[in-house]
Amino acid sequence: MIEAGRTAADHIAADRRVVWHGMRPFKENDVPLLITEANGSWITDCEGNRYLDGMSGLWCVNAGYGRQELADAAYRQLSSMPYYPLTQTHLPAIRLAEKLGEWLEGDYVVFFSNSGSEANEAAFKMARQYQQQTGHPYRHKFIARYRGYHGSSPGALSATGQAVRKLKYEPLAPGFLHVRPPDSYRRPEGMSREAHQLQCAREIEETIVWEGADTVAGVILEPAITGGGIIVPDKAYMEEVRRICTQHGALMIVDEVICGFGRSGRSFGHHNFGVSPDIVTMAKGITSGYLPLAATAVKREIYQAFCQKGEYDHLRHVNTFGGHPASCAVALANLELMEREKLRERSSLLGARLLEELGAALAGHPLAGDVRGFGFMAGIELVEDRQSRKPAAPGVMQGIIDSCRRRGLIIGKNGDTVAGYNNVLTLAPPLSSTDEDLDFLLAALLEALEEASPA
């Protein structure tokens, strides 16, 4: 709804004067969507146009929009005890940490912060301090993958393997190394998928050995690379990474910022591979985006290294708003809602249908090089032609995104990641989407892709 006395155009003019938007190249007559209402999987702009939000905002509104019980949980908490820092404690944080333990299916201790970037920054500090306090003073390096994303702050951006996100912000933090992602669509000709997956995992091992295992603190990875182009590993890859980390004394840090909270069809993405990380970072879907919150969960053995008696042995790290009582209360209500409505199972069902129908409809499409999915999340890698696999040009990508928007569907792409490879359309709708929502999404997307087809 638009305020009396001010038109939508007035608001946009004010926006253009005073609001600086992330990830938006400057264009003279650029008009951002001004979203004023949202319900279920649908958002409405200031002119009353409705769109199906095929990206759940920024991959986070897992339970869908318009959940009164989440707003009520925040209201109740703000009314009774609006803020107290977690240098002491409060009930919403205690209850949520216990609930996260159930969802994680392991013995973890939870440190709260506000964003995915912060959760990863905390993980890096914890990993280094843990290594120092357990007799490994030289273990400070982290290995991550090219194309992976871990956040925007200097440490998290150093771990990010997307050169375009770093350009003009370097030098960043030293000690972050990158290896090849398990992108089987672009594996060498003649190599089997299985061999390629193992080779990619072993590149981590080679890097550890060549760097000197006693200099490596940890390996950080998303269960599936998400914003970098929906690159989904095989179980064997993840098992091999787990073996390598254990064998070489590196902590396995799994970034569940997008894959967590049902997106993958399970509680957390790593549950699909049967591996148990040493550290799990999470944000976004923890509150379904209703309030900011993030967490870094560490295995109890790691936490115990911080319970020694030395003057500097405790974690000297805090964020004023980390684990805000209202955010924790909303997260708890969100997880209860997801359990009650079986949204993890729903994610798995919807994702299977999405992948199957996209795969069948695009099997002969000249631009659709590869269709990939992980739970209720999918990527369509667009190419100039299927033989050369040359990535589709940015104009083609934008044309399809605009065409979807004209049809009332918001989709995403892997934007500003690595030069020349921003050619994956992305989908991550709310897990609460109805069958009719998915019908609409598929129809609009396939029409837009048909329109773009050169054939």
State the minimum distance, in angstroms, from the CB of residue 120 to ligand PMP.
6
Task: Quote the tokens at residue 267.
Answer: 């509680």
| Closer Cβ to ligand PMP, 120 or 272, answer by number | 120
SS (H, E, C) 309-347: CCCCCCCCCCCCCCCCHHHHHHHHHHHHHHHHCCHHHHH
| Closer Cβ to ligand PMP, 58 or 78, answer by number | 58
d(CA 135, CA 88): 30
| Closer Cβ to ligand PMP, 57 or 362, answer by number | 57
Which residues 39-58 are close enough to bind ligand PMP by CB under 6 A? 58
Q: How many Cα atoms occupy the beta-carbon half-sphere of 455 within 13 Å?
A: 10
Q: Is residue 257 near ligand PMP by the rule CB under 6 A?
A: yes
Structural element, H or E, at residue 238: helix 235-248
| Closer Cβ to ligand PMP, 110 or 362, answer by number | 110
Q: Is residue 203 near ligand PMP by the rule CB under 6 A?
A: no
| Closer Cβ to ligand PMP, 255 or 278, answer by number | 255
Q: Are 354 and 376 in contact (CB under 8 A)?
A: yes
Q: Which stretch binds ligand PMP (CB under 6 A): 39-47, 64-72, 149-157, 261-269?
A: 149-157
**DSSP letter for each residue of 416-452:** SSSTT---EEEE---TT--HHHHHHHHHHHHHHHHHH
- Beta partners for residue 378, in sequence order: 373, 427
d(CA 28, CA 173): 35
Q: Is residue 325 near ligand PMP by the rule CB under 6 A?
A: no
Using alpha carbons, select from 248, 176, 177 the residue that is nearest to residue 212: 248
Task: Quote the tokens at residue 281.
Answer: 């970072």
d(CA 127, CA 279): 9
- At what angle are helices 343-362 and 435-452 packed, to 10 degrees? 30
Q: Is residue 429 near ligand PMP by the rule CB under 6 A?
A: no
State the minimum distance, in angstroms, from the CB of residue 156 to ligand PMP.
6
Q: Is residue 151 near ligand PMP by the rule CB under 6 A?
A: yes
Query: Which of 73, 96, 251, 283: binder of ligand PMP (CB under 6 A)?
Result: 283
Query: Which of 117, 327, 334, 433: binder of ligand PMP (CB under 6 A)?
Result: 117
User: What is the identity of the amino acid at 149?
Assistant: Y
State the minimum distance, in angstroms, from the CB of residue 222 to ligand PMP.
5
User: What is the identity of the amino acid at 282?
Assistant: M
Query: Which of 64, 92, 116, 155: binder of ligand PMP (CB under 6 A)?
Result: 116
Query: Which of 90, 99, 128, 150: binder of ligand PMP (CB under 6 A)?
Result: 150
Query: Which of 53, 205, 222, 370: binder of ligand PMP (CB under 6 A)?
Result: 222
Percent helix / strand / coil, the chain, rounded to 5: 40, 15, 40
Q: How many residues does the chain have?
A: 455
Backbone angles phi and psi of 145, in degrees to 5? -110, 145
| Closer Cβ to ligand PMP, 252 or 448, answer by number | 252
State the minimum distance, in angstroms, from the CB of residue 7 to ligand PMP.
32
Q: Is residue 227 near ligand PMP by the rule CB under 6 A?
A: yes
d(CA 264, CA 256): 10
Query: Which of 226, 267, 296, 423: binder of ligand PMP (CB under 6 A)?
Result: 226
Query: Which of 121, 203, 205, 255: binder of ligand PMP (CB under 6 A)?
Result: 255
State the minimum distance, in angstroms, from the CB of residue 259 to ligand PMP.
7
Q: Are 448 and 400 in contact (CB under 8 A)?
A: yes
> Residue with CB nearest ligand PMP?
116
Q: Is residue 258 near ligand PMP by the rule CB under 6 A?
A: yes
| Closer Cβ to ligand PMP, 52 or 280, answer by number | 280
Q: How many residues bind ligand PMP (CB under 6 A)?
A: 16
State the minimum distance, in angstroms, from the CB of residue 21 to ligand PMP.
14
- Judged by the rule CB under 6 A, the positions of this chain that interact with ligand PMP are 58, 115-117, 120, 149-152, 222, 226-227, 255, 257-258, 283
